[in-house]
């Protein structure tokens, strides 16, 4: 497989009388945490796959674990990052009355009462169905729910009791890593440190999930590893393809054998990703992926400088 990748030839596409040379570089970033854990030999999903820190080591103020630079290549899984950060704040909110990571027997009632109150308030005030199990689909916490939560920081803070500034900081960080523009690393590093310090000051008792730790601790190094803005490596394209694959599989593949179906599907996807075809296809803007640029300018590199 790696030999085939090495032998990929450049494409030349003619656009408006000008030739554009397209060369290929493969990056394995369209993955979620569980795939990254397998690829990096991380034996527990709660551990960080970059520095192998355990949950109990995540909230240490003077963090000394050495990151493995070779693991930066798996990216930040920016789409899942929205959901993981949202769930982290939500789970802190459920525990705010007793401030303990582990829900002990004596705290179970308080936990359930907080959860029900927060879920009801999200439904009435923002129309969001939060943390409900969907049969066969995980939970209702998806990218859209998370985006709505972070874009309404004030209401979200009133409902959850979480520091509004912390929600806003997470909102800025998530929009920056998703927007597909170049990030000013110095300003971003300072924002990450400020956010982590704020988190540890108020919620040190809740072990930071590995996906949140990964962004706050290793975000800058992962961004610097790639030549293009980190937003371009999002697994959003893959997730958006699920529907497309379903339609192609149904309408354009032979059903004579599973092998035939997969072969036809792969051929169709290869053709549809050809640069010549991509240029001819009109882009359909994804309204959910449009992020407001408020407060982001100071963390972005000027387009003229790049
Ligand atoms: Zn780490």
Taking the centre of ligand 1 as the mean of its atom positions, its distance from the CA of residue 58, in whole angstroms, is: 8
Domain assignment of residue 11, yes or no: yes
| Same domain membership, residue 86 and residue 196 | yes
* pLDDT for residue 265: 94
198 located within any domain? yes
Whether residue 82 is contained in a domain is answered as yes
Whether residue 252 sits in one domain with residue 104: no
Same domain, 199 and 244: no
In a domain, 304, yes or no: no
Ligand 1 centroid to residue 233 C-alpha, Å: 20
Burial letters for 203-231: b for 16+ Cβ neighbours within 10 Å, e otherwise?
beebbbbbbbbbbbbbbbebbebbeebbb
Which tokens hold the place of 215?
A: 């962004």
Task: Please provide the DSSP assignment of 197-226 as one string.
Answer: HHHHHHHTTSPPPHHHHHHHHHHHHHHHHS
Please tell me the distance between residue 79's alpha carbon and the centre of ligand 1 in angstroms: 19
Q: Where are the beta strands (DSSP E) in the chain?
A: 11-15, 18-22, 133-134, 138-139
Note whether 132 and 273 are same-domain residues.
Answer: no
**Upper half-sphere CA count for residue 196 (Cβ side, 13 Å):** 22
Which pLDDT belongs to residue 286?
61
Q: Two tokens at 284? A: 């359909």
Distance, in Å, from the CA atom of 238 to the CA atom of 260, rounded to the nearest integer, reads 22
pLDDT at 306: 45
- What does the pLDDT read at residue 283? 66
Q: 158 and 252, same structural domain?
A: no
Q: How far is the CA of 123 from the centre of ligand 1 (A)?
A: 35
Q: What is the pTM of this model?
A: 0.85
Say if residue 37 is in the same domain as residue 94: yes
Q: Are 113 and 252 part of one and the same domain?
A: no
152 with 74, same domain: the answer is yes
State in Å: Cα 190 to ligand 1 middle.
18
If you measure from the C-alpha of residue 37 to the centroid of ligand 1, how many angstroms do you get, rounded to a whole number? 12
Domain that holds residue 105: 33-233
The count of structural domains within the chain is 2
Q: What are the C-alpha distances in Å from 198 to residues 76, 143, 163, 283? A: 21, 24, 9, 40
Residue among 170, 179, 235 at smallest CA distance from 209: 170
Closest CA relative to residue 161, chosen from 102, 202, 197, 210: 202
Q: How far apart are the CA of 64 and the centre of ligand 1, in A?
A: 10
Residue 301 within a domain: no
* 289 in a structural domain: no
Give the model's pLDDT for residue 222.
94
Q: Ligand 1 centre from 49 Cα, in Å?
A: 7
Question: In this structure, is residue 138 part of a structural domain?
Answer: yes
Do 129 and 263 lie in one domain? The reply is: no
Q: What is the mean pLDDT of each run of 10 residues along the chain (306 residues)?
A: 80 82 84 86 89 90 86 90 94 93 91 94 90 76 88 93 95 91 92 95 93 94 91 82 89 94 93 81 63 80 59
Q: Output the CA 228–ligand 1 centroid distance in Å.
A: 22
CA of 61 from ligand 1 middle (Å) equals 13
Q: Are residues 12 and 92 in the same domain?
A: no
CB-based contacts of 291, cutoff 8 Å, min separation 6: 175, 178, 179
- How many A from CA of 50 to the centre of ligand 1? 5
How far apart are alpha carbons 2 and 301 in whole angstroms?
34
pLDDT value at residue 289: 58
67, 153: one domain: yes
Is there a domain that residue 293 lies in? no
Do 186 and 43 lie in a common domain? yes
């Amino acid at each position: 497989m790696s030999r085939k990748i090495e032998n990929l030839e450049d494409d030349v596409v003619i656009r408006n009388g000008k030739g554009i040379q397209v060369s290929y570089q493969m990056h394995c970033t369209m993955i979620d945490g569980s795939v990254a854990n397998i690829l990096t030999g991380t034996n527990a999903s709660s551990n960080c796959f970059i520095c192998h820190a355990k949950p109990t080591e995540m909230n240490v103020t003077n963090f000394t674990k050495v990151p493995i630079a070779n693991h930066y290549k798996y990216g930040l899984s920016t789409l899942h990052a929205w959901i993981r950060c949202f769930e982290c704040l939500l789970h802190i909110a459920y525990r705010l009355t007793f401030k303990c990571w582990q829900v002990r027997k004596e705290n179970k009632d308080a936990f359930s009462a907080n959860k029900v109150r927060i879920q009801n308030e999200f439904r009435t005030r923002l129309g969001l169905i939060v943390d409900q199990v969907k049969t066969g689909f995980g939970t209702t916490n998806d990218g859209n729910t998370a985006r709505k939560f972070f874009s309404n920081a004030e209401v979200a803070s009133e409902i959850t009791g979480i520091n509004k500034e912390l929600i806003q900081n997470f909102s800025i960080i998530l929009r920056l890593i998703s927007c597909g523009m170049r990030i000013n690393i110095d300003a971003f590093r300072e924002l990450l440190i400020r956010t982590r310090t704020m988190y540890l000051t108020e919620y040190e008792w809740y072990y930071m999930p590995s996906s949140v730790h990964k962004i706050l601790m290793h975000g800058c190094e992962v961004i610097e590893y790639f030549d293009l803005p980190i937003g371009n490596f999002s697994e959003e394209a893959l997730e958006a393809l699920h529907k497309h694959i379903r339609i192609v599989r149904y309408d354009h593949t032979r059903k004579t054998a599973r092998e035939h179906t997969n072969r036809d599907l792969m051929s169709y996807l290869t053709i549809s990703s050809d640069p010549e075809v991509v240029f001819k296809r009109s882009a359909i803007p994804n309204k959910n992926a449009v992020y407001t640029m408020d407060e982001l300018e100071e963390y972005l590199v000027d387009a003229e400088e790049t």
